[in-house]
Amino acid sequence: MRTRGEATRERILAAAEECFARQGYEATSVAEICQQAGVSKGAFFHHFPTKQEVFLELLERWLADLGENLAALRARARNVPEGLMWMAETAQQVFEMARGKLPIFLEFLSRAARDPRVWQASISPYRRYRAFFTGMIEAGIAEGSLRRVDPEAAANAFLSMAIGLVLQATVDPDGANWGAIAQESVRLFLEGVQQGQAP
Amino acid sequence: MRTRGEATRERILAAAEECFARQGYEATSVAEICQQAGVSKGAFFHHFPTKQEVFLELLERWLADLGENLAALRARARNVPEGLMWMAETAQQVFEMARGKLPIFLEFLSRAARDPRVWQASISPYRRYRAFFTGMIEAGIAEGSLRRVDPEAAANAFLSMAIGLVLQATVDPDGANWGAIAQESVRLFLEGVQQGQAP
DNA sequence: TATTTCATACCGACCGGTCGGTATGATTGT
DNA sequence: ACAATCATACCGACCGGTCGGTATGAAATA
């Protein structure tokens, strides 16, 4: 954080993230963000042309972060099933840590379905994730740890499960132990596709 | 639709549903709904105390409808795997038909995560769905068509998959043939849990 | 070094417009 | 007549974004 300006920028982003998480995008006014950041409205619009731009920058950071975490987990795993299980275990921590932060995820999606700018910002990382998982399944088949399933179909099923889990954990965080359920689900999934595991 | 009042009420609900689907809840003004319904603001607030109440009534209808459809499919199926596959096939049609209507689903969820009233209205049907699928898996095990998996875990995995699919189809409807993917995913799931199907 | 210059960072009052909801009275059906 | 139904006009709050102007501090000039 070299210059004074950059520090202010970061404060605005952090404040916006908190407000969005607490109240949602629409319900959060620019004035509120400014107050939370201890900054004037003038400063806000000096650093960002619109409220939406703040939102988009947060979105980009979040998705990039997620992508890096997934890639790191895969790289560290000794084989594909292990990598997938690690991801499920990580989900446990994510659910616990993020809690109040998760609803932004929904807000992102809800807006992405309508706002072309948001859509474009979310959809290309998302498609990379799909490709990423397809690649993982293919690698699993190649290394002999997975059955010869259709990689795309399996990746889709896995990704759907992951998305569904996150969503449920977001809406009903106290309804179940979602971290444990994530692990159970992935285990079940692996039992279906793993080599020499079928009973 | 006996009285004149009921007809107006329905027109307001239909108009609201369309507006919400097209623009989202927040972005839809009461005036817009009234115009679309060919009704005055006075009529609107005569039939509904607040805008949110309209939203909630739509939500209730939608969830009740979904529940009925699921129960009907299960009742007609000759065994559990067949029932699950039928649901996947139905998803195909739902995706094609609903298209523009699906984003309301996201709006529902997004609001449910924050608005206690909406949350309560969505969460109890949702928990019924979970119980419903758990019951199905148990029945499948009892009838011998499914392996002795943990019913709750399997139901969770299946429901997660379903939710994830709907969500992806909502956000990226042209990104893939979601109906086909739904069938493929369920098939994959069944291969994992079905009796005597493991290769 | 002392002074001028100037870009960047920031302030906060303000504007045009929108929105959810209300007040009041007309119309309709019984 | 009288209750249910609907229309019109209106209110007060709020919001995203603008704008004229001020502070800060580094580079240029003398």
Q: What is the pLDDT of residues B87-145, one digit of tens each?
A: 999 888 878 777 777 788 788 788 888 888 889 888 889 999 999 999 999 999 999 99
Contacts (Cβ under 8 Å, ≥6 apart) of A196: none
Q: Is A167 helix (H, G, I), strand (E, B) or coil?
A: helix
The pLDDT of residue A196: 59
pTM given for the model = 0.86
- CA A178 to CA B151: how far, in whole Å? 16
Name beta bridge partners: B146.
Answer: B194
Indicate yes or no: CB of B185 within 8 angstroms of CB of A157: yes
Q: Check if the beta carbon of residue B106 is closer than 8 Å to that of residue A109.
A: yes
Indicate yes or no: CB of A168 within 8 angstroms of CB of B171: no
Q: pLDDT higher for B100 or B24?
A: B24
- CA A27 to CA A11: how far, in whole Å? 20
Q: Is A29 left (phi over 0), alpha (psi -120 to 50) or beta?
A: beta
**In this complex, which residue's CA is closest to the C1' atom of nucleotide C20?**
B30
Half-sphere exposure of B163 (CA within 13 A, CB side): 23
Residue B199 has pLDDT above 50, yes or no: no
**A129, containing H or E segment:** helix A116-143
- Percent of chain B residues topping a pLDDT of 90: 47
The pLDDT of residue A23: 87
Indicate yes or no: CB of B156 within 8 angstroms of CB of A192: no
Average the pLDDT over B187-193 and give the result. Answer: 86
B42 CB contact with strand C at below 7 Å: yes
D5 C1' to B11 CA distance, Å:
14
Residue A60 has pLDDT above 80, yes or no: yes
- Which bases in strand D are touched by protein, i.e. have an atom under 7 Å from a CB? 4-10, 14-21, 25
Smallest Cβ distance to B185: which of A106, A123, A160? A160
C28 C1' to B112 CA distance, Å:
40
| Contact status of B98 with chain A (Cβ, < 8 Å) | no
Range in A165-169, B107-111, B122-126, B156-160 with the lowest mean pLDDT: B107-111
Q: Is A194 helix (H, G, I), strand (E, B) or coil?
A: strand
Indicate yes or no: CB of B171 within 8 angstroms of CB of A107: no
Indicate yes or no: CB of A184 within 8 angstroms of CB of B126: no
B79 CB contact with strand C at below 7 Å: no
Measured in degrees and rounded to the nearest 5, phi and psi for residue A140 equal: -60, -40
**In this complex, which residue's CA is closest to the C1' atom of nucleotide D19?**
A42
- CA A122 to CA B171: how far, in whole Å? 9
D2 C1' to B2 CA distance, Å:
21
Query: Over the stretch A101-142, which tens digit does the pLDDT of each residue have?
Result: 778 878 888 888 888 888 988 888 999 999 999 999 999 999
Q: Check if the beta carbon of residue A118 is closer than 8 Å to that of residue A108.
A: yes
Q: Which residue of A has its CA nearest to B174?
A: A123
C9 C1' to A51 CA distance, Å:
19
